[in-house]
A and B are shown apart, each in its own frame.
Chain A
Amino acid sequence: MTRDVPHTTSDGGLTYVSRYTTVQRINHWVTAALFTMLTLSGLSLFHPSLFFLTGLFGGGPSTRAIHPWFGVVLFLSFLMLFFRFWSLNLPNRDDIEWSKRIGDVVSNRHDRLPELGKYNAGQKIVFWGQSILITCMFLSGLVIWDQYFGTYTSIEPKRVALLIHSLAALCAILIIFVHVYAGIWIKGTGRAMMRGNVTGGWAYRHHRKWLRKEAAAHGIASEAEIYAAHHPAPATKAEPPAK
């Protein structure tokens, strides 16, 4: 066991496996916040019935002005996520098996699903889908960012870029919809991104291969061990020297 927490025997309480580091979690939530603001500001221009959303950003002109800047920061933030996670999202054979059993997936029938590594095919689609779409939105976004890049292209490429941008945004928003819903539907997932760990049972149910690997490499922590790691016992005071 390589974990730097005091080793106690299992007390029958829950077990935990760590899934995301603090930096990874901050990176994820910064990206999520930016994506949300981009969705709100972008959709306000997408359809007249959503124009009222410009009110959230101080009116029409300021929404128009700030949206691309959010986009630039999102792109950088997502780039960091990308380099952290791409290798974990490479497809493998289990993904094919899992995808074939998508009916069982949506029916919560885990007894019929293959054991999986850290991510399932759905999560990988979210990852690669967002990677491609955010790149598309970034590039097309630059073409239609008139204030700074208006003179680099003629009108026809701008029309194409606008169509690509809104199409890509639509697909990305739909993917994020599914991503958020999965977080609500699959109980116990939220703490992975909020607290950084998941219960052993969650890992056993959804990503058993990953759990086995973690158990072998880092061990699994008990509740008492996690508690001890976060609340170090106060150092005992040295006895005053006898007079």
Chain B
Amino acid sequence: MADYQSLDIRRRSASTDSSPDVRGAIEVAKLIDVSKCIGCKACQAACMEWNDLRSPIGDNIGVYTNPQDLDPNTWTLMRFTEYENPDGNLEWLIRKDGCMHCSDPGCLKACPSPGAIVQYQNGIVDFISENCIGCTYCVKGCPFNIPRISSVDRKAYKCTLCVDRVSVGQAPACAKSCPTQAIVFGTKADMIAHADERIIDLKTRGFTNAGLYDPPGVGGTHVMYVLHHADSPQLYANLPKDPKISTLVAIWKGGLKVAGLGLMAAAAVGSFFHYVAKGPDEVDDHDEMAAERMKEESDRS
């Protein structure tokens, strides 16, 4: 259990500040063992309770997933999938959806507002609402489709990994409430070690493809899953197999910004030196006299 994590900031959106590195950070992680989850939604309720969130009552469309999607008041959501395996048996796959707290967060990369998204040294990615301008760029940057914009205040919301609890040495509310300990929380290294034991156990029980979901495309995540079918994460309500920041977003936030500023500066400097080199294009007396002659001619006719 990580105690009193430093709240030093590793990355800050739209900022060039360098991170303080003297203290050497301990990274934390939440491990969700899908194989142990019984779908009781205690975590979902605990999240609402701790963060004081209430979604408006929605419609029952005949599935257990409720509400139907993440929203500004639903930061974590149990997604239920009925999967018929090749043996013809039904498997009820239940995945706790929410922010994955990527090491390389697409939301933070896309955000144009300085300090609206921060990543703490412990790996938690958090939205600082007072700096959020509601542009929804984070929604486009996220490879997991997590942030939601409130229609009330036009600000972005998502799971904070209970940064307020973690910073005082408490586990996130969801982990605390889970009756089967399918959700556990600690240092990332400890969680990986714990996952390894669970995976060995699952393999002995016939789940030969059991494995850890800590996708390298986003530099690893600070919310990880133990999956019985780690070879096909899409089975779990479309968990992306190889998530990474979209190439479109990478171009937009990478080369285009640099090239854009460079070209604009070049245009300004170039025009200035053209003027210096060639001088203004001025109308001379010859031109005016020629025009006057044309006037005389046209007046005469």
- State the A residues within 8 Å of B (CB): 1, 7, 9-10, 12, 14-15, 44-49, 51, 54, 59-61, 63-65, 106-108, 110, 144, 146-147, 150, 155-156, 158-160, 162-163, 166-167, 170, 173-174, 177-178, 181, 184-188, 199-205, 211-212, 215-216, 219-220, 222
Contact = CB atoms under 8 A, between A and B. Distances in A.
A163 B133 contact: no
Nearest to A216: B298
Closest 3 CB pairs of A and B: A200-B291, A201-B288, A60-B133
Interface string B157-189: 000000000000000000000000000000000
A9 B299 CA distance: 9
B113 A7 contact: no
11 contacts: A61-B154, A64-B135, A108-B279, A146-B136, A146-B149, A155-B145, A162-B252, A184-B280, A201-B284, A215-B294, A220-B298
B193 interface: no
Interface in B252-291: 252, 256-257, 260-261, 263-264, 267-268, 271, 274-275, 278-285, 287-291
B137 interface: yes
Interface residues of B, number: 53
B280 A177 contact: no
Nearest to B290: A204
Contact of B133 (A61, A173, A185): A61
Contacts of A174: 263-264, 267
Contacts of A222: 295
B57 interface: no
A212 B131 CA distance: 60
Contact of B281 (A45, A46, A155, A186): A186
Given A160-B248, A163-B248, A15 B295 contact: yes
A188 B294 CA distance: 19
Interface string B13-30: 011100000000000000
A219 B252 contact: no
B291 A204 contact: yes
Given A47-B257, A64-B133, A166-B252, A10 B267 contact: no
Contacts of A184: 271, 275, 280
Contacts of B105: none
A222 B14 CA distance: 58
B209 interface: no
B256 A163 contact: yes
B8 interface: no
B211 interface: no
B246 interface: yes
Interface centre among B114, B140, B274, by most chain A C-beta atoms within 10 angstroms, is: B140
A200 B294 contact: yes
Contacts of B72: none
B49 interface: no
Contacts of B274: 106, 181, 185
A222 B288 CA distance: 11
Given A1-B299, A10-B299, 12 more contacts: A15-B288, A45-B135, A65-B154, A144-B140, A162-B252, A163-B252, A166-B260, A181-B267, A181-B271, A188-B283, A201-B291, A204-B287
Contact of B278 (A106, A167, A188, A216): A106
B283 A205 contact: yes
A215 B298 contact: yes
A107 B280 CA distance: 10
B69 interface: no
B292 interface: yes
B154 A185 contact: no
Contacts of A147: 154
